[in-house]
Amino acid sequence: MSEPKIAQKAPFVIEVEEGSYAWCACGASHNQPYCDGSHRGSGIEPMVVKIEEKKTVAWCGCKHSSNKPYCDASHKNL
């Protein structure tokens, strides 16, 4: 897999607690927007981000954002 699978054409808007999160970059995870290991063998690795405080995050759902792992509205052009 050289191109990620589009999980959805909208962001995953989720309130998250402080901690580390592995954002699914391949689009194959069954636990979107987080990695569940489905990327193995795809050549695409998850992106691990550290959230410093509780907040609402708009995780990219289309996997084509220029501001990964966050939504930049790229899904509107797919």
- Residue-range domain boundaries for the chain: 12-72
φ, ψ for residue 64 (rounded to 5)? -120, 10
Given a cut of 80, is residue 24 above it in pLDDT? Answer: yes
pLDDT at 1: 58
CA distance 20 to 48: 7
31-78 pLDDT, tens digit each: 999 999 999 989 999 999 999 999 999 999 999 999 999 999 999 999
Amino acid at 56: T
Q: In this structure, are residues 39 and 26 in contact, taking their beta carbons and an 8 Å threshold?
A: yes
Whether 35 contacts 46, CB under 8 Å:
yes
Q: What is the pLDDT of residue 27?
A: 97
CA distances (Å), origin 8, targets 20, 52, 75: 23, 26, 8
pTM of the entire structure?
0.93
